[in-house]
Chain A
Amino acid sequence: MDPPLPVSTSEPDKDIFSGPRAEPLNNPLSETAAEQLKAVSGASSKAKGDVPVEEAGSEEPDDLFSDPLGESGAELETHTSNAPLLDFSEEPPKSDPIKKAASADDYIKKPQKDIFEESTEDGVKAAAAHVGSVAAEKKVLHTDLFGDGVDDDEDKDDLFKTPPGAMMKKPQASLFRAEPDDIFPEAKTEAKPATKASAKQPNNAPTDLFTEEPFTVMPAARAAVKPAAIPSANTSSKTNGLHSDEEDLFAEATVELSLDSPRNDRRKRDAMKPSEPVPCPSTSTSSSKPQPKKLEELEEEEKEDKFDLNISVTNPEKVGDGMNAYMAYRVSTQTTLSMFRSKQLTVRRRFSDFLGLYEKLSEKHSPNGYIVPPAPEKSILGMTKVKVGKEDLSSDEFVERRRAALERYLQRVVSHPSLLQDPDVREFLEKEELPRAVSTQALSGAGFLKMINKATDAVSKMTIKMNESDVWFEEKLQEVESEDQQLRKLHGMVESLVNHRKELSVNTAVFAKSVAMLGSSEDNTALSRALSQLAEVEDRIEQLHQDQAANDFFIFAELLADYIRLLGAVRACFDQRMKAWQRWQDGQNMLQKKREAEAKLLWANKPEKLQQAKDEIGEWEGRVSQYERDFDRVSATVRKEVMRFEKEKTRDFKKQIIKYLQSLLHSEQQLIKYWEAFLPEAKAIA
């Protein structure tokens, strides 16, 4: 494959790379889907020159092309120079271009043809197909464009001569089936859940889409698979296909940038090993983050291999006296990530700072469908004890429990590739003094407002009947709900085990004392001695039970408690998706009304108002497509997040439960030791 260098793209390239590298990436990230689309169509126009700007422009009420061209050029550039990666003659996803072609055909009219005719290189083709399909989708939103297919098919055939003919001829169904076979062998370790999911329903387009995540490294694969999903999805309603396309573009952009960066050797490695999942760039691209992105994506990729960020929360310390007292914790960060000021960071934070961090993150990221790890809950009772009480056992336990929970919380936050990028996170870890978090007071005004919002959310949740077009979401949500139920049940039982074990520990201690007394009053010397030995054994066992109760709690119960709350966050992200859907539906209804109004005006022959009605329709069309894209974007994010969550969950559970079993193992070993020591004493009774 030759790197395709269409004249038009080469110019913006230079601009991009000579200028701050961050810029091109940064903008799309911070922008909404509409802007991304603008960028895309801008790119296409740039590349082609003769892309029918008028057409696109007329359909899109937003000023698509007001963006700096350099920026949009960047997007296209990424595609073109990605070409070397897409080795069509060898890559499995060869089938996909056809798919894409087919889908593109369905929608795309002349502009597409132009593109295809002009571009001779595969890479460009891929890019163009992308651009085309995306642009086409825009136009097609409410107009049926099926029908042009036949002509276009030929174009496509021309375009994709390079891939073996056999692939091209395959019917759609077989394409789908082929995908898993081709792609999955390359996906190793990390991609497991995804592979599984897709293997289950190889014919299910959404699932296929989903599987792409782990394969981000192979832009070709992604690009190709995605359009494939479109035709199947478009019949009912637009799903994630479109959105994925966009994301894909940007993902590639990210990767592309790295090519020119000092780390480009690494990227090559990625290219060699397509199995390596790099979900991070694509995840972050679709988020709407205001802060500039530098080379952080690269760090993220790095982190996927070796997570180089250790956070510990230590040294809980009571600050102040009385009811104004609070606990401060030392938050130490060890990292080699260059996004941080130094390799060792230590700050002191109080509990409300953690809550504040959660509030900020949740506000910013949860509307986009992200699973924001919830901070530990406030416990007025526990804290009051700490404030009032001296050094007593239960408050010590409370403090330790909270410390551990805060540590786990932070670790979850930074292990999320998108959240790690958030400036608030960095600030939290780095900055000496944080502004006091305000809205975390349990009964503050803001808290009250939040409560009201939650109530209204709950009501709308009940009233919204979502006509789910995507079985995956439906099933997942059900799964999450039943899992939530089971985890709650399990948590209750483990808590009960903790209590009984504590009770057992106390009762064993009491029994030990009692046996010691019995031993002291026993007048047979050997028996007396044996009884006091037994008392000693029981004393040790008491300690064992106590330690085990702590392990039951800190290793097992807290894990479950964490995941119950995390599942809450997962459900919240499903809710966000539903909200986006609702907005889109509302928009559609509105558009429908406007159209009817227009029809009436036409019929009534009132040209003076007609123009205004047309304008309104145009405006609403724009909004609707915007909402739809929002919905698609949220949907895709939710999918990705849920996948990521499940991967993390699996890892967490395995790790913690193994740890828990080891603690049990240790207990049994000790027990054996104690009783073995006792046995000769018992035998010595005479």
Chain B
Amino acid sequence: MMQEGLDDGPDFLSEEDRGPRAVNVDLQTDATLQVDISDALSERDKVKFTVHTKSTLPNFKQNEFSVVRQHEEFIWLHDSFVENEDYAGFIIPPAPPRPDFDASREKLQKLGEGEGSMTKEEFTKMKQELEAEYLAIFKKTVAMHEVFLCRVAAHPVLRKDLNFHVFLEYNQDLSVRGKNKKEKLEDFFKNVVKSADGVIVAGVKDVDDFFEHEKTFLLEYHNRVKDASIKSDRMIRSHKSAADDINRIASTLYTLGTQDSTDVCKFFLKVSELFEKTRKIEARVAADEDLKLADLLKYYLRESQAAKDLLYRRGRALVDYENANKALDKARAKNKDVLQAETTQQVCCQKFEKISESAKQELIDFKTRRVAAFRKNLVELAELELKHAKGNLQLLQSCLAVLKGDT
């Protein structure tokens, strides 16, 4: 099952500004189906994504079309993949995280309340910042949703999925609803059972060395990538706070510079100007680390979970197969229900083999994708870090030259 879409890594991490829409390089070579999110609209509590498709596949009525989709519809699509038995042997592309603008909105609201207590400049500055923050979250959300679609579109089997096509083409509301309480509860129990079962299944020694190795690797990898993701978030958060501090220092220095009547004021103004610039760079450093590092880790946290799920399904199938074998042996010994047991055994065997077959390739692809994505992002991260550090250096050097010239 070697497929063409080997590298459909999380490309949302690509361009910092997302000027040109981030489309995977490999996908571009395959012109039969291209999906992107051309536009997004943020309404009160939901985001409307405009999903744009270009395709030469015969089952689409047109070659190019757009539909409006919401986050829930993405989740529906994802869940339909998960529930489809035929896809048990695939790493189901992880669903995009729910858009979370609450924190940002809350801040904006607080800002509105605190309007009276700060100066006009401070207010405008804060507002601009929060708006920028909101925009950043928005872009990220869009990117994550796009990545999901790209992954699906690049998958040799999933791209042919009917639900996927409906999702892309049907120009009306899919009238999917969020899960109700009962369903949520069911999901919860399913998960509990699954994880309990997962422990049992994981305890079973795999006959296949490849899978045995993958199993131990993924278990460890998942935990570590999870840890790294949390830690990177923390690091970036404090980096952002530091950048904010520099920003506030810059404005206070500015106030000092305009108040003072001595010639220190010119000095203060200059330093304020410098800090105003460096804090922007510093904020960009944090934002880029977020984009290149934290998001990468987060994506692979979800993707490795999906890979783990695949292994679980395979493990489950293996256990089922072994149980069916035992049941068949028993039935033969008792000479009772042998035919039925044989059928069950065969079904289980088929299922297991089918899963194993595709899972092996999926896991190999997963690794290839991962390595490529890490390479791309780490290179970009290093380049951006260098760019910003050099920018800061230059600012500092020229400012110091001016200041020393003055004194």
**Footprint of B on A, CB under 8 Å?**
192-193, 196, 479, 482-483, 486-487, 489-490, 493-494, 496-497, 500-501, 503-504, 507-508, 510-511, 513-515, 517-518, 521-524, 526-527, 530-531, 534, 646, 649-650, 653-654, 657-658, 661-662, 664-665, 668-669, 671-672, 675-676, 678-679, 682-683, 685-686
Contacts and interface: CB of A to CB of B under 8 A. Distances in A.
Contacts of A521: 217, 220-221, 224
B404 interface: yes
A646 B263 CA distance: 10
B263 A192 contact: yes
Contact of B378 (A490, A669, A682): A682
Contact of B393 (A487, A489, A534, A669): A669
Given A507-B238, A665-B397, 16 more contacts: A193-B262, A483-B260, A486-B252, A497-B242, A500-B242, A501-B238, A507-B237, A511-B231, A518-B227, A531-B374, A654-B267, A657-B267, A665-B393, A671-B385, A682-B379, A682-B381
Interface centre among A196, A513, A685 (most CB of B within 10 A): A685
B221 A522 contact: yes
Nearest to B381: A682
A530 B374 contact: yes
22 contacts: A483-B256, A490-B253, A493-B252, A497-B246, A501-B242, A504-B241, A507-B235, A513-B231, A517-B224, A517-B227, A518-B225, A521-B220, A524-B371, A650-B262, A650-B263, A658-B404, A661-B403, A665-B397, A668-B389, A675-B385, A685-B371, A686-B375
Interface residues of B, number: 58
B330 interface: no
B264 A497 contact: no
B84 to A, nearest CB: 30
A685 B374 contact: yes
Contacts of B241: 496, 500, 503-504
A523 B407 contact: no
Given A497-B245, A534-B378, A685-B378, A507 B259 contact: no
A486 B253 CA distance: 8
Contacts of B375: 527, 530, 682-683, 685-686
B385 A494 contact: no
Query: Closest 3 CB pairs between A and B?
Result: A497-B245, A685-B375, A682-B378
B271 interface: yes
B371 to A, nearest CB: 5
B405 to A, nearest CB: 11
A480 to B, nearest CB: 11
A51 B110 CA distance: 78
B336 interface: no
A405 to B, nearest CB: 22
Nearest to A505: B238
Contacts of B302: none
Nearest to B224: A518
A523 B264 contact: no
B105 interface: no
Contacts, number: 167
A503 B374 CA distance: 27
A676 B382 CA distance: 8
Contacts of B278: 664
Nearest to B271: A657
B234 interface: yes
B213 to A, nearest CB: 8
Contacts of A511: 228, 231-232, 234-235
Nearest to B374: A527
A566 to B, nearest CB: 14
Nearest to B245: A497
Interface centre among B221, B252, B397 (most CB of A within 10 A): B252
Interface string B258-287: 011111100110010010001000000000
Interface centre among A494, A511, A513, A526 (most CB of B within 10 A): A511
Nearest to B247: A493
Contact of B383 (A503, A653, A679): A679
A145 B246 CA distance: 62
A489 B252 contact: yes
B263 A661 contact: no
A654 B407 contact: yes
B393 to A, nearest CB: 4
Nearest to A502: B238
Given A524-B367, A534-B378, A679-B379, A654 B228 contact: no
A675 B367 contact: no
Contacts of A486: 252, 255-256, 259
A671 B382 CA distance: 11
B198 to A, nearest CB: 19
Interface centre among A486, A531, A646 (most CB of B within 10 A): A486
Nearest to B274: A661
Interface string B14-50: 0000000000000000000000000000000000000
Contacts of A487: 256
Given A479-B261, A504-B238, A661 B396 contact: yes
Contact of A530 (B238, B260, B378): B378
B399 interface: yes
A530 B235 CA distance: 20
B366 to A, nearest CB: 11
A686 B253 CA distance: 48
A218 to B, nearest CB: 24
Contacts of A685: 371, 374-375, 378
Contacts of A489: 252
Contacts of A679: 379, 382-383, 386
B390 interface: yes
A664 B239 CA distance: 15
A201 B353 CA distance: 96
B400 interface: yes
A523 B217 contact: yes
A73 to B, nearest CB: 42
B14 to A, nearest CB: 15
A484 B222 CA distance: 53
Nearest to A489: B252
A683 B376 CA distance: 8
A513 B400 CA distance: 36
Contacts of A504: 235, 238-239, 241-242
Contacts of A501: 238, 242
Nearest to A649: B264
B379 A683 contact: yes
Nearest to A488: B252
Nearest to B225: A518
A151 B326 CA distance: 136
B262 A646 contact: yes
B248 interface: yes
B227 A196 contact: no
A502 to B, nearest CB: 9
Contacts of B331: none
Contacts of A646: 262
B249 interface: yes
B392 interface: yes
Contacts of A497: 242, 245-246, 249
Nearest to B403: A658
Nearest to B248: A493
Interface centre among A483, A518, A646, A662 (most CB of B within 10 A): A518
Contacts of A664: 278, 392, 396
Given A518-B228, A658-B403, A650 B242 contact: no
Contacts of A675: 382, 385-386, 389
Contacts of A654: 264, 267, 403, 407
Contacts of B237: 507
A679 B241 CA distance: 27
B355 to A, nearest CB: 22
Contacts of A508: 235
A521 B400 CA distance: 45
Contacts of B403: 654, 657-658, 661
B399 A517 contact: no
A193 B374 CA distance: 59
